[in-house]
Chain A
Protein backbone atom coordinates (compact mmCIF):
# COMPACT_ATOMS: atom_id res chain seq x y z
CA UNK A 1 0.00 0.00 0.00
CA UNK A 2 2.88 2.34 0.64
CA UNK A 3 3.53 2.55 -3.05
CA UNK A 4 5.45 5.81 -3.18
CA UNK A 5 8.63 5.34 -1.31
CA UNK A 6 10.95 4.23 -4.05
CA UNK A 7 9.17 6.24 -6.68
CA UNK A 8 12.10 8.40 -7.70
CA UNK A 9 10.18 10.31 -10.32
CA UNK A 10 7.25 10.96 -8.05
CA UNK A 11 6.89 11.90 -4.48
CA UNK A 12 10.34 11.03 -3.22
CA UNK A 13 11.75 13.72 -5.44
CA UNK A 14 8.95 16.07 -4.63
CA UNK A 15 9.72 15.52 -0.99
CA UNK A 16 13.30 16.61 -1.46
CA UNK A 17 12.21 19.74 -3.24
CA UNK A 18 9.79 20.40 -0.45
CA UNK A 19 12.44 20.63 2.18
CA UNK A 20 13.32 24.29 2.28
CA UNK A 21 17.00 24.96 1.85
CA UNK A 22 19.16 27.94 1.04
CA UNK A 23 18.09 31.51 0.66
CA UNK A 24 15.79 31.04 -2.29
CA UNK A 25 13.07 28.49 -2.81
CA UNK A 26 11.64 27.38 -6.11
CA UNK A 27 7.96 26.40 -6.17
CA UNK A 28 7.53 22.77 -7.09
CA UNK A 29 4.21 23.46 -8.76
CA UNK A 30 4.71 26.67 -10.79
CA UNK A 31 8.44 27.35 -10.70
CA UNK A 32 8.13 30.70 -8.94
CA UNK A 33 11.30 31.60 -7.03
CA UNK A 34 10.71 33.13 -3.61
CA UNK A 35 13.07 34.48 -0.97
CA UNK A 36 13.30 31.96 1.91
CA UNK A 37 12.49 34.40 4.71
CA UNK A 38 9.46 35.55 2.80
CA UNK A 39 8.34 31.89 2.49
CA UNK A 40 8.53 31.52 6.25
CA UNK A 41 6.20 34.53 6.57
CA UNK A 42 3.88 33.00 3.96
CA UNK A 43 3.78 29.76 5.99
CA UNK A 44 5.50 28.03 3.06
CA UNK A 45 2.66 28.66 0.66
CA UNK A 46 3.59 29.75 -2.87
CA UNK A 47 2.40 33.36 -3.37
CA UNK A 48 1.91 32.70 -7.06
CA UNK A 49 -0.03 29.41 -7.16
CA UNK A 50 -1.02 28.53 -3.59
CA UNK A 51 1.03 25.34 -3.59
CA UNK A 52 1.55 24.25 0.01
CA UNK A 53 5.09 23.13 0.78
CA UNK A 54 5.39 20.43 3.40
CA UNK A 55 6.08 21.85 6.87
CA UNK A 56 6.97 20.14 10.12
CA UNK A 57 4.56 18.78 12.72
CA UNK A 58 5.89 21.40 15.13
CA UNK A 59 4.95 24.17 12.69
CA UNK A 60 1.37 22.87 12.47
CA UNK A 61 1.14 22.72 16.25
CA UNK A 62 2.21 26.38 16.39
CA UNK A 63 -0.29 27.27 13.66
CA UNK A 64 -3.30 25.53 15.09
CA UNK A 65 -3.01 25.26 18.86
CA UNK A 66 -3.17 28.08 21.42
CA UNK A 67 0.34 29.31 22.30
CA UNK A 68 1.68 26.47 20.14
CA UNK A 69 1.20 24.26 23.14
CA UNK A 70 0.48 20.53 22.99
CA UNK A 71 0.58 18.40 26.10
CA UNK A 72 2.29 15.34 24.67
CA UNK A 73 1.04 11.78 25.28
CA UNK A 74 2.37 8.30 24.46
CA UNK A 75 5.88 9.61 23.84
CA UNK A 76 7.60 6.32 24.48
CA UNK A 77 5.82 4.09 22.02
CA UNK A 78 8.36 2.52 19.67
CA UNK A 79 8.15 -0.02 16.89
CA UNK A 80 9.11 -3.63 17.24
CA UNK A 81 9.98 -5.93 14.39
CA UNK A 82 7.24 -8.56 14.59
CA UNK A 83 7.98 -10.03 11.15
CA UNK A 84 11.79 -9.79 11.36
CA UNK A 85 11.40 -7.94 8.08
CA UNK A 86 14.37 -7.46 5.80
CA UNK A 87 14.63 -6.24 2.23
CA UNK A 88 17.71 -4.26 1.26
CA UNK A 89 17.70 -3.01 4.84
CA UNK A 90 16.51 -4.48 8.10
CA UNK A 91 13.33 -2.85 9.35
CA UNK A 92 14.81 -1.83 12.75
CA UNK A 93 17.58 -0.02 10.82
CA UNK A 94 14.96 1.90 8.84
CA UNK A 95 13.25 2.88 12.07
CA UNK A 96 16.53 3.99 13.63
CA UNK A 97 17.39 6.07 10.56
CA UNK A 98 13.96 7.72 10.70
CA UNK A 99 14.41 8.44 14.41
CA UNK A 100 17.76 10.11 13.74
CA UNK A 101 16.34 12.09 10.83
CA UNK A 102 13.28 13.36 12.69
CA UNK A 103 14.36 13.37 16.31
CA UNK A 104 11.08 11.56 17.03
CA UNK A 105 10.45 8.01 18.15
CA UNK A 106 7.67 7.41 15.67
CA UNK A 107 5.52 8.91 12.93
CA UNK A 108 2.75 10.46 15.04
CA UNK A 109 2.85 13.31 17.56
CA UNK A 110 -0.24 13.41 19.75
CA UNK A 111 -1.71 14.94 22.87
CA UNK A 112 -4.09 17.51 24.22
CA UNK A 113 -4.22 21.20 23.35
CA UNK A 114 -6.61 24.08 22.79
CA UNK A 115 -7.92 25.77 19.66
CA UNK A 116 -9.10 29.25 20.59
CA UNK A 117 -9.82 28.01 24.08
CA UNK A 118 -11.58 24.84 22.99
CA UNK A 119 -9.86 21.80 24.45
CA UNK A 120 -9.13 19.12 21.84
CA UNK A 121 -7.47 15.74 21.40
CA UNK A 122 -4.93 16.23 18.65
CA UNK A 123 -2.70 13.99 16.51
CA UNK A 124 -0.46 14.76 13.56
CA UNK A 125 1.42 12.43 11.20
CA UNK A 126 5.01 13.04 10.21
CA UNK A 127 5.80 12.24 6.57
CA UNK A 128 9.54 12.34 7.20
CA UNK A 129 9.16 9.22 9.34
CA UNK A 130 9.21 6.39 6.75
CA UNK A 131 6.80 8.24 4.49
CA UNK A 132 4.24 8.73 7.24
CA UNK A 133 3.53 5.03 6.97
CA UNK A 134 1.15 3.43 9.47
CA UNK A 135 2.54 0.57 11.51
CA UNK A 136 1.53 -0.65 14.97
CA UNK A 137 2.78 2.47 16.77
CA UNK A 138 1.13 4.95 14.42
CA UNK A 139 -2.11 2.97 14.69
CA UNK A 140 -1.83 2.75 18.47
CA UNK A 141 -1.13 6.47 18.92
CA UNK A 142 -4.08 7.39 16.71
CA UNK A 143 -6.24 4.85 18.60
CA UNK A 144 -5.25 6.38 21.95
CA UNK A 145 -5.94 9.89 20.65
CA UNK A 146 -9.45 8.70 19.71
CA UNK A 147 -9.87 7.08 23.13
CA UNK A 148 -8.83 10.32 24.86
CA UNK A 149 -11.56 12.04 22.85
CA UNK A 150 -14.09 9.44 23.97
CA UNK A 151 -13.05 9.28 27.61
CA UNK A 152 -12.48 13.01 28.18
CA UNK A 153 -15.21 14.14 25.78
CA UNK A 154 -12.92 16.20 23.59
CA UNK A 155 -13.30 16.97 19.91
CA UNK A 156 -10.75 15.09 17.81
CA UNK A 157 -8.44 16.70 15.25
CA UNK A 158 -6.09 14.58 13.14
CA UNK A 159 -3.71 16.01 10.55
CA UNK A 160 -2.88 13.22 8.11
CA UNK A 161 0.13 12.90 5.85
CA UNK A 162 0.90 9.38 4.74
CA UNK A 163 1.61 7.07 1.86
CA UNK A 164 -0.31 4.27 3.54
CA UNK A 165 0.31 1.19 5.63
CA UNK A 166 3.84 0.24 6.65
CA UNK A 167 4.71 -2.85 4.61
CA UNK A 168 7.46 -3.90 7.02
CA UNK A 169 4.82 -4.76 9.62
CA UNK A 170 2.76 -6.72 7.12
CA UNK A 171 -0.76 -7.69 8.12
CA UNK A 172 -0.40 -5.97 11.51
CA UNK A 173 -0.21 -2.62 9.72
CA UNK A 174 -3.31 -3.42 7.64
CA UNK A 175 -5.20 -4.15 10.85
CA UNK A 176 -4.44 -0.67 12.20
CA UNK A 177 -7.05 0.52 9.70
CA UNK A 178 -9.64 -1.59 11.49
CA UNK A 179 -8.40 -0.66 14.97
CA UNK A 180 -8.67 3.09 14.35
CA UNK A 181 -11.90 2.96 12.32
CA UNK A 182 -13.67 0.80 14.90
CA UNK A 183 -12.86 3.35 17.63
CA UNK A 184 -14.10 6.16 15.37
CA UNK A 185 -17.45 4.35 15.23
CA UNK A 186 -17.64 4.60 19.03
CA UNK A 187 -16.63 8.28 18.90
CA UNK A 188 -19.39 8.94 16.37
CA UNK A 189 -21.97 7.25 18.61
CA UNK A 190 -20.95 9.63 21.42
CA UNK A 191 -21.63 12.56 19.06
CA UNK A 192 -18.15 13.96 19.60
CA UNK A 193 -16.88 15.83 16.52
CA UNK A 194 -13.89 14.66 14.50
CA UNK A 195 -12.22 17.02 12.04
CA UNK A 196 -9.89 15.28 9.59
CA UNK A 197 -7.27 17.49 7.96
CA UNK A 198 -5.56 16.15 4.85
CA UNK A 199 -2.13 17.33 3.74
CA UNK A 200 0.17 16.33 0.91
CA UNK A 201 0.07 13.36 0.45
CA UNK A 202 -2.69 11.34 2.10
CA UNK A 203 -3.24 8.04 0.34
CA UNK A 204 -3.80 4.28 0.60
CA UNK A 205 -4.30 2.72 4.04
CA UNK A 206 -4.60 6.00 5.91
CA UNK A 207 -6.93 7.52 3.33
CA UNK A 208 -8.96 4.28 3.36
CA UNK A 209 -9.43 4.50 7.13
CA UNK A 210 -9.44 7.38 9.62
CA UNK A 211 -8.49 10.16 7.20
CA UNK A 212 -11.74 9.57 5.27
CA UNK A 213 -13.94 9.29 8.35
CA UNK A 214 -14.06 12.87 9.67
CA UNK A 215 -17.42 14.49 10.29
CA UNK A 216 -15.78 17.29 8.38
CA UNK A 217 -12.84 16.70 6.07
CA UNK A 218 -10.71 19.67 5.12
CA UNK A 219 -7.66 19.60 2.90
CA UNK A 220 -4.80 21.87 1.94
CA UNK A 221 -4.72 23.01 -1.71
CA UNK A 222 -3.03 20.87 -4.34
CA UNK A 223 -2.31 17.89 -2.10
CA UNK A 224 -2.15 14.40 -3.56
CA UNK A 225 -5.15 12.47 -2.20
CA UNK A 226 -6.37 9.03 -3.16
CA UNK A 227 -6.57 5.32 -2.58
CA UNK A 228 -4.15 3.86 -5.13
CA UNK A 229 -0.93 5.59 -6.08
CA UNK A 230 -0.85 7.39 -9.43
CA UNK A 231 1.84 5.09 -10.79
CA UNK A 232 -0.09 1.95 -9.90
CA UNK A 233 -3.17 3.34 -11.63
CA UNK A 234 -1.14 4.34 -14.65
CA UNK A 235 0.32 0.85 -14.91
CA UNK A 236 -3.08 -0.79 -14.47
CA UNK A 237 -4.91 1.21 -17.11
CA UNK A 238 -1.94 1.76 -19.41
CA UNK A 239 -2.62 5.39 -20.12
CA UNK A 240 -1.68 8.80 -18.78
CA UNK A 241 -3.72 10.24 -15.95
CA UNK A 242 -5.85 13.36 -16.49
CA UNK A 243 -4.48 16.72 -15.35
CA UNK A 244 -5.24 17.40 -11.69
CA UNK A 245 -6.32 13.80 -11.05
CA UNK A 246 -6.22 12.85 -7.33
CA UNK A 247 -5.63 16.42 -6.20
CA UNK A 248 -7.46 18.18 -3.39
CA UNK A 249 -9.44 20.08 -6.01
CA UNK A 250 -10.43 16.80 -7.70
CA UNK A 251 -11.54 15.42 -4.33
CA UNK A 252 -13.68 18.51 -3.70
CA UNK A 253 -15.28 18.24 -7.13
CA UNK A 254 -16.05 14.54 -6.63
CA UNK A 255 -17.54 15.18 -3.20
CA UNK A 256 -14.96 13.66 -0.88
CA UNK A 257 -13.75 16.73 1.00
CA UNK A 258 -15.86 19.46 2.52
CA UNK A 259 -13.54 22.35 2.08
CA UNK A 260 -10.17 23.39 0.72
CA UNK A 261 -8.48 25.50 3.36
CA UNK A 262 -5.37 27.58 2.98
CA UNK A 263 -2.89 27.06 5.79
CA UNK A 264 -3.28 30.61 7.07
CA UNK A 265 -7.01 30.00 7.56
CA UNK A 266 -6.69 26.60 9.21
CA UNK A 267 -7.05 27.83 12.78
CA UNK A 268 -10.03 30.10 12.12
CA UNK A 269 -11.82 27.42 10.06
CA UNK A 270 -11.35 24.74 12.73
CA UNK A 271 -12.52 27.21 15.38
CA UNK A 272 -15.69 28.05 13.46
CA UNK A 273 -16.48 24.39 12.89
CA UNK A 274 -15.96 23.47 16.52
CA UNK A 275 -18.25 26.32 17.61
CA UNK A 276 -21.02 24.85 15.46
CA UNK A 277 -20.34 21.22 16.26
CA UNK A 278 -19.36 21.36 19.91
CA UNK A 279 -19.84 24.63 21.76
CA UNK A 280 -23.42 25.42 22.74
Chain B
Protein backbone atom coordinates (compact mmCIF):
# COMPACT_ATOMS: atom_id res chain seq x y z
CA UNK B 1 0.00 0.00 0.00
CA UNK B 2 1.08 3.56 -0.51
CA UNK B 3 2.78 3.24 -3.84
CA UNK B 4 1.18 4.59 -6.98
CA UNK B 5 -0.14 4.86 -9.58
CA UNK B 6 -3.17 6.69 -8.28
CA UNK B 7 -6.52 7.51 -9.86
CA UNK B 8 -7.76 11.08 -9.75
CA UNK B 9 -10.07 10.54 -6.78
CA UNK B 10 -7.28 8.80 -4.88
CA UNK B 11 -5.04 11.91 -4.92
CA UNK B 12 -6.03 13.25 -1.47
CA UNK B 13 -5.28 9.80 -0.07
CA UNK B 14 -1.93 9.73 -1.86
CA UNK B 15 -0.97 13.14 -0.48
CA UNK B 16 -1.76 12.17 3.08
CA UNK B 17 0.07 8.87 2.69
CA UNK B 18 3.12 10.75 1.52
CA UNK B 19 2.98 13.11 4.51
CA UNK B 20 2.82 10.17 6.90
CA UNK B 21 5.66 8.40 5.20
CA UNK B 22 7.79 11.59 5.22
CA UNK B 23 7.10 12.03 8.90
CA UNK B 24 8.09 8.44 9.60
CA UNK B 25 11.33 8.92 7.71
CA UNK B 26 12.01 12.11 9.61
CA UNK B 27 11.30 10.56 12.98
CA UNK B 28 13.82 7.79 12.38
CA UNK B 29 16.72 10.20 12.00
CA UNK B 30 15.76 12.58 14.79
CA UNK B 31 15.04 12.78 18.48
CA UNK B 32 11.69 14.46 17.98
CA UNK B 33 8.81 12.30 19.21
CA UNK B 34 6.23 12.09 16.40
CA UNK B 35 4.46 8.80 17.05
CA UNK B 36 1.37 10.53 18.49
CA UNK B 37 1.15 12.78 15.50
CA UNK B 38 1.67 9.90 13.10
CA UNK B 39 -1.05 7.88 14.78
CA UNK B 40 -3.52 10.75 14.52
CA UNK B 41 -2.72 11.28 10.86
CA UNK B 42 -3.14 7.58 10.25
CA UNK B 43 -6.61 7.85 11.79
CA UNK B 44 -7.36 10.80 9.56
CA UNK B 45 -6.20 8.76 6.57
CA UNK B 46 -8.52 5.88 7.42
CA UNK B 47 -11.43 8.28 7.75
CA UNK B 48 -10.61 10.00 4.47
CA UNK B 49 -10.35 6.65 2.74
CA UNK B 50 -13.75 5.54 4.01
CA UNK B 51 -15.28 8.86 3.03
CA UNK B 52 -13.93 8.71 -0.50
CA UNK B 53 -14.71 5.06 -1.18
CA UNK B 54 -18.18 5.21 0.31
CA UNK B 55 -19.09 8.01 -2.05
CA UNK B 56 -17.61 6.94 -5.36
CA UNK B 57 -19.60 7.89 -8.43
CA UNK B 58 -20.42 5.20 -10.98
CA UNK B 59 -17.76 6.54 -13.29
CA UNK B 60 -15.15 6.45 -10.51
CA UNK B 61 -16.03 2.82 -9.88
CA UNK B 62 -15.55 2.10 -13.59
CA UNK B 63 -12.11 3.69 -13.30
CA UNK B 64 -11.37 1.62 -10.24
CA UNK B 65 -12.28 -1.54 -12.17
CA UNK B 66 -9.48 -0.56 -14.56
CA UNK B 67 -6.97 0.36 -11.86
CA UNK B 68 -3.49 -0.52 -13.14
CA UNK B 69 -2.88 -2.57 -10.01
CA UNK B 70 -6.23 -4.36 -9.96
CA UNK B 71 -5.90 -8.17 -9.74
CA UNK B 72 -6.55 -10.01 -13.00
CA UNK B 73 -7.97 -13.46 -13.64
CA UNK B 74 -4.71 -15.38 -13.23
CA UNK B 75 -3.90 -13.43 -10.05
CA UNK B 76 -7.11 -14.74 -8.49
CA UNK B 77 -6.63 -18.25 -9.81
CA UNK B 78 -3.09 -18.45 -8.45
CA UNK B 79 -4.10 -16.90 -5.13
CA UNK B 80 -7.03 -19.20 -4.42
CA UNK B 81 -6.17 -22.48 -6.09
CA UNK B 82 -3.40 -25.03 -6.16
CA UNK B 83 -2.15 -27.14 -9.04
CA UNK B 84 -3.69 -24.97 -11.77
CA UNK B 85 -3.10 -26.63 -15.12
CA UNK B 86 -3.63 -24.20 -17.95
CA UNK B 87 -5.03 -25.70 -21.15
CA UNK B 88 -4.54 -24.07 -24.51
CA UNK B 89 -6.13 -23.82 -27.92
CA UNK B 90 -9.49 -24.11 -29.62
CA UNK B 91 -8.38 -27.08 -31.82
CA UNK B 92 -9.52 -25.22 -34.95
CA UNK B 93 -7.50 -22.07 -35.40
CA UNK B 94 -5.16 -21.24 -32.57
CA UNK B 95 -4.68 -20.23 -28.97
CA UNK B 96 -6.15 -16.93 -27.81
CA UNK B 97 -4.09 -15.41 -25.01
CA UNK B 98 -6.91 -13.03 -24.09
CA UNK B 99 -8.93 -16.01 -22.85
CA UNK B 100 -7.37 -18.47 -20.41
CA UNK B 101 -8.64 -21.69 -18.92
CA UNK B 102 -7.75 -24.90 -17.20
CA UNK B 103 -8.26 -27.23 -14.24
CA UNK B 104 -7.61 -26.02 -10.71
CA UNK B 105 -8.29 -26.97 -7.09
CA UNK B 106 -9.98 -24.65 -4.63
CA UNK B 107 -9.36 -26.34 -1.29
CA UNK B 108 -10.67 -29.84 -2.08
CA UNK B 109 -12.95 -28.69 -4.88
CA UNK B 110 -11.98 -29.46 -8.49
CA UNK B 111 -13.02 -26.73 -10.90
CA UNK B 112 -12.59 -25.72 -14.52
CA UNK B 113 -11.49 -22.08 -14.65
CA UNK B 114 -12.25 -19.88 -17.65
CA UNK B 115 -11.73 -16.15 -18.00
CA UNK B 116 -10.41 -13.21 -19.93
CA UNK B 117 -6.86 -12.21 -19.05
CA UNK B 118 -5.44 -8.69 -19.20
CA UNK B 119 -1.77 -7.75 -19.23
CA UNK B 120 0.04 -5.45 -16.83
CA UNK B 121 2.90 -3.88 -18.80
CA UNK B 122 2.80 -2.80 -22.43
CA UNK B 123 4.30 -5.99 -23.76
CA UNK B 124 1.95 -8.17 -21.73
CA UNK B 125 -1.06 -6.00 -22.61
CA UNK B 126 -0.40 -6.59 -26.29
CA UNK B 127 0.18 -10.31 -25.69
CA UNK B 128 -3.20 -10.50 -23.93
CA UNK B 129 -4.82 -8.16 -26.48
CA UNK B 130 -6.10 -6.04 -23.57
CA UNK B 131 -8.37 -8.88 -22.48
CA UNK B 132 -10.35 -8.70 -25.72
CA UNK B 133 -10.87 -12.19 -27.09
CA UNK B 134 -11.15 -13.30 -30.73
CA UNK B 135 -13.53 -16.09 -31.83
CA UNK B 136 -10.87 -18.70 -31.04
CA UNK B 137 -10.95 -17.50 -27.42
CA UNK B 138 -14.68 -18.16 -27.18
CA UNK B 139 -14.21 -21.50 -28.94
CA UNK B 140 -11.43 -22.47 -26.54
CA UNK B 141 -13.78 -21.61 -23.68
CA UNK B 142 -16.50 -23.78 -25.22
CA UNK B 143 -14.10 -26.70 -25.63
CA UNK B 144 -13.24 -26.46 -21.96
CA UNK B 145 -16.93 -26.18 -20.96
CA UNK B 146 -17.62 -29.43 -22.80
CA UNK B 147 -14.61 -31.05 -21.17
CA UNK B 148 -15.79 -29.93 -17.73
CA UNK B 149 -19.16 -31.49 -18.51
CA UNK B 150 -17.54 -34.72 -19.70
CA UNK B 151 -15.56 -35.16 -16.48
CA UNK B 152 -18.23 -33.71 -14.21
CA UNK B 153 -16.15 -30.77 -12.99
CA UNK B 154 -17.97 -27.53 -12.03
CA UNK B 155 -17.11 -24.41 -14.03
CA UNK B 156 -15.90 -21.11 -12.59
CA UNK B 157 -15.84 -18.16 -14.98
CA UNK B 158 -13.96 -14.98 -14.08
CA UNK B 159 -14.98 -12.13 -16.38
CA UNK B 160 -12.75 -9.13 -17.04
CA UNK B 161 -13.03 -7.66 -20.52
CA UNK B 162 -13.59 -4.31 -22.23
CA UNK B 163 -15.36 -6.32 -24.95
CA UNK B 164 -14.89 -8.98 -27.60
CA UNK B 165 -12.27 -7.72 -30.03
CA UNK B 166 -13.71 -5.61 -32.88
CA UNK B 167 -11.29 -6.31 -35.73
CA UNK B 168 -11.07 -7.66 -39.25
CA UNK B 169 -9.75 -11.10 -38.29
CA UNK B 170 -12.39 -11.43 -35.55
CA UNK B 171 -15.15 -10.79 -38.09
CA UNK B 172 -13.60 -13.15 -40.64
CA UNK B 173 -13.57 -15.95 -38.11
CA UNK B 174 -17.13 -15.32 -36.91
CA UNK B 175 -17.07 -13.35 -33.66
CA UNK B 176 -20.87 -13.17 -33.61
CA UNK B 177 -21.31 -16.89 -34.27
CA UNK B 178 -18.76 -17.84 -31.61
CA UNK B 179 -20.48 -15.74 -28.95
CA UNK B 180 -23.98 -16.83 -29.96
CA UNK B 181 -23.02 -20.49 -29.84
CA UNK B 182 -21.38 -20.13 -26.43
CA UNK B 183 -24.45 -18.44 -24.99
CA UNK B 184 -26.72 -21.19 -26.28
CA UNK B 185 -24.42 -24.05 -25.23
CA UNK B 186 -23.69 -22.62 -21.77
CA UNK B 187 -27.40 -22.66 -21.07
CA UNK B 188 -27.35 -26.48 -21.35
CA UNK B 189 -23.97 -27.53 -19.94
CA UNK B 190 -24.70 -30.26 -17.40
CA UNK B 191 -22.42 -29.11 -14.57
CA UNK B 192 -22.78 -26.11 -12.24
CA UNK B 193 -21.51 -22.80 -13.65
CA UNK B 194 -20.49 -19.98 -11.32
CA UNK B 195 -19.82 -16.64 -13.02
CA UNK B 196 -18.01 -13.75 -11.35
CA UNK B 197 -17.37 -10.36 -12.94
CA UNK B 198 -14.07 -9.36 -11.34
CA UNK B 199 -13.39 -6.15 -13.27
CA UNK B 200 -14.94 -5.10 -16.54
CA UNK B 201 -17.99 -6.88 -17.91
CA UNK B 202 -18.59 -5.37 -21.31
CA UNK B 203 -21.38 -6.51 -23.53
CA UNK B 204 -21.45 -9.67 -25.64
CA UNK B 205 -17.74 -10.13 -24.95
CA UNK B 206 -18.63 -10.78 -21.31
CA UNK B 207 -21.86 -12.69 -21.89
CA UNK B 208 -20.08 -14.99 -24.38
CA UNK B 209 -18.66 -16.78 -21.33
CA UNK B 210 -21.18 -15.39 -18.85
CA UNK B 211 -24.23 -17.66 -18.73
CA UNK B 212 -24.41 -19.49 -15.41
CA UNK B 213 -26.39 -20.74 -12.43
CA UNK B 214 -25.06 -18.12 -10.06
CA UNK B 215 -23.77 -14.76 -11.31
CA UNK B 216 -21.82 -12.60 -8.88
CA UNK B 217 -19.72 -9.50 -9.18
CA UNK B 218 -17.02 -7.79 -7.18
CA UNK B 219 -18.01 -4.59 -5.39
CA UNK B 220 -16.14 -2.28 -7.79
CA UNK B 221 -16.67 -4.24 -11.03
CA UNK B 222 -19.08 -3.08 -13.74
CA UNK B 223 -21.32 -4.98 -16.13
CA UNK B 224 -23.20 -3.42 -19.04
CA UNK B 225 -24.60 -3.82 -22.53
CA UNK B 226 -21.99 -1.31 -23.74
CA UNK B 227 -19.07 0.54 -22.14
CA UNK B 228 -19.90 4.01 -20.82
CA UNK B 229 -17.51 5.51 -23.40
CA UNK B 230 -19.10 3.56 -26.25
CA UNK B 231 -22.57 4.61 -25.19
CA UNK B 232 -21.51 8.25 -24.76
CA UNK B 233 -19.91 8.25 -28.23
CA UNK B 234 -23.20 7.16 -29.75
CA UNK B 235 -25.91 8.84 -27.69
CA UNK B 236 -23.98 11.94 -26.52
CA UNK B 237 -21.81 12.00 -29.63
CA UNK B 238 -18.69 12.28 -27.50
CA UNK B 239 -16.90 9.83 -25.23
CA UNK B 240 -16.18 12.58 -22.69
CA UNK B 241 -19.78 12.14 -21.57
CA UNK B 242 -18.92 8.67 -20.25
CA UNK B 243 -19.71 9.69 -16.62
CA UNK B 244 -23.29 10.57 -17.63
CA UNK B 245 -23.55 7.38 -19.68
CA UNK B 246 -22.34 5.31 -16.71
CA UNK B 247 -25.14 6.82 -14.61
CA UNK B 248 -27.75 6.32 -17.33
CA UNK B 249 -26.73 2.70 -18.02
CA UNK B 250 -26.59 1.79 -14.30
CA UNK B 251 -23.47 -0.34 -14.49
CA UNK B 252 -22.29 -0.82 -10.89
CA UNK B 253 -22.80 -3.73 -8.49
CA UNK B 254 -25.67 -2.15 -6.48
CA UNK B 255 -27.42 -1.35 -9.79
CA UNK B 256 -27.15 -4.94 -10.98
CA UNK B 257 -28.56 -6.21 -7.70
CA UNK B 258 -31.49 -3.79 -8.08
CA UNK B 259 -32.04 -4.98 -11.64
CA UNK B 260 -31.89 -8.61 -10.41
CA UNK B 261 -29.21 -9.59 -12.91
CA UNK B 262 -26.55 -10.38 -10.34
CA UNK B 263 -27.25 -12.75 -7.46
CA UNK B 264 -24.62 -11.48 -5.07
CA UNK B 265 -21.99 -8.78 -4.65
CA UNK B 266 -18.63 -9.93 -3.35
CA UNK B 267 -17.15 -7.24 -1.13
CA UNK B 268 -13.64 -6.01 -1.74
CA UNK B 269 -10.92 -5.14 0.77
CA UNK B 270 -10.97 -1.49 1.94
CA UNK B 271 -10.31 0.85 -1.03
CA UNK B 272 -10.50 -1.94 -3.57
CA UNK B 273 -9.04 -5.31 -4.51
CA UNK B 274 -5.80 -3.73 -5.74
CA UNK B 275 -4.83 -3.00 -2.14
CA UNK B 276 -4.92 -6.59 -0.95
CA UNK B 277 -5.00 -9.44 -3.44
CA UNK B 278 -4.91 -12.14 -0.76
CA UNK B 279 -7.91 -10.73 1.04
CA UNK B 280 -9.82 -10.15 -2.23
CA UNK B 281 -9.05 -13.70 -3.37
CA UNK B 282 -10.22 -15.05 -0.03
CA UNK B 283 -13.63 -13.38 -0.50
CA UNK B 284 -13.89 -14.68 -4.07
CA UNK B 285 -12.96 -18.18 -2.93
CA UNK B 286 -15.59 -18.15 -0.18
CA UNK B 287 -18.21 -17.00 -2.65
CA UNK B 288 -17.35 -19.73 -5.16
CA UNK B 289 -17.33 -22.53 -2.59
CA UNK B 290 -20.54 -21.22 -1.04
CA UNK B 291 -22.32 -21.22 -4.39
CA UNK B 292 -20.98 -24.64 -5.39
CA UNK B 293 -22.04 -26.22 -2.08
CA UNK B 294 -25.64 -25.67 -3.05
CA UNK B 295 -25.36 -26.23 -6.81
CA UNK B 296 -23.55 -29.54 -6.41
CA UNK B 297 -26.50 -30.92 -4.46
CA UNK B 298 -28.95 -29.94 -7.20
CA UNK B 299 -29.97 -32.74 -9.63
CA UNK B 300 -28.88 -31.97 -13.19
CA UNK B 301 -32.39 -31.70 -14.63
CA UNK B 302 -33.36 -29.20 -11.93
CA UNK B 303 -30.10 -27.32 -12.43
CA UNK B 304 -30.80 -26.88 -16.14
CA UNK B 305 -34.42 -25.97 -15.58
CA UNK B 306 -33.46 -23.34 -13.00
CA UNK B 307 -30.79 -21.96 -15.32
CA UNK B 308 -33.26 -21.66 -18.19
CA UNK B 309 -35.87 -20.01 -15.96
CA UNK B 310 -33.30 -17.57 -14.58
CA UNK B 311 -32.79 -16.10 -18.05
CA UNK B 312 -36.28 -16.72 -19.36
CA UNK B 313 -37.78 -14.18 -16.99
CA UNK B 314 -35.36 -11.30 -17.52
CA UNK B 315 -36.95 -8.20 -19.01
CA UNK B 316 -39.46 -5.53 -18.07
CA UNK B 317 -42.53 -4.77 -20.16
CA UNK B 318 -46.23 -3.98 -19.97
CA UNK B 319 -48.86 -6.22 -21.45
Contact = CB atoms under 8 A, between A and B. Distances in A.
Interface in B201-246: 203-204, 207-208, 211, 223-226, 230-231, 234-237, 244-245
A178 B187 contact: yes
B180 A213 contact: yes
B11 interface: no
A118 B236 CA distance: 47
Interface string B19-43: 0000000000000000000000000
B204 A205 contact: yes
16 contacts: A1-B203, A6-B237, A82-B259, A167-B231, A170-B251, A172-B259, A174-B203, A174-B225, A176-B315, A178-B207, A179-B314, A181-B180, A185-B187, A233-B171, A245-B168, A256-B176
Closest 6 CB pairs of A and B: A228-B166, A136-B315, A182-B187, A212-B180, A227-B175, A227-B176
Contacts of B236: 87-88
B79 interface: no
Nearest to A236: B166
B249 interface: yes
Contact of B311 (A88, A182, A241): A182
Nearest to A163: B234
Contact of B204 (A86, A143, A177, A246): A177
B317 A136 contact: yes
B180 A209 contact: yes
B296 interface: no
B167 A236 contact: yes
A229 B259 CA distance: 28
Nearest to B211: A178
A79 B174 CA distance: 31
Nearest to A178: B311
Given A85-B248, A177-B207, A171 B261 contact: yes
A103 interface: no
Contacts, number: 205
B180 A179 contact: no
A119 to B, nearest CB: 24
A58 to B, nearest CB: 23
Interface in A143-189: 143, 165, 167, 169-179, 181-186, 188-189
A170 B311 contact: no
Interface residues of A, number: 69
B164 A227 contact: yes
A81 to B, nearest CB: 9
Contacts of A189: 188
Contacts of A229: 166
B204 A242 contact: no
Interface in B267-319: 307-308, 311-312, 314-319
B256 interface: yes
A5 B307 CA distance: 33
Contacts of B234: 2-3, 5-6, 167
B150 interface: no
A237 B223 contact: no
Contacts of B185: 185
B318 A171 contact: no
A139 interface: yes
Contact of B173 (A86, A228, A237, A254): A254
A72 interface: no
Given A87-B235, A213-B184, A256-B176, 16 more contacts: A1-B203, A2-B226, A88-B235, A165-B225, A171-B225, A171-B251, A175-B311, A208-B208, A212-B176, A226-B171, A228-B166, A232-B166, A233-B168, A242-B168, A245-B168, A255-B174
Nearest to B237: A6
B51 interface: no
A27 B203 CA distance: 35
Interface in A214-271: 226-229, 232-233, 236-237, 241-242, 245-246, 254-256
A204 interface: yes
B107 interface: no
A179 B316 contact: no
A1 B226 contact: yes
A233 B259 contact: no
B264 interface: no
Contacts of A100: none
A76 interface: yes
Contact of B308 (A1, A182, A233, A255): A182
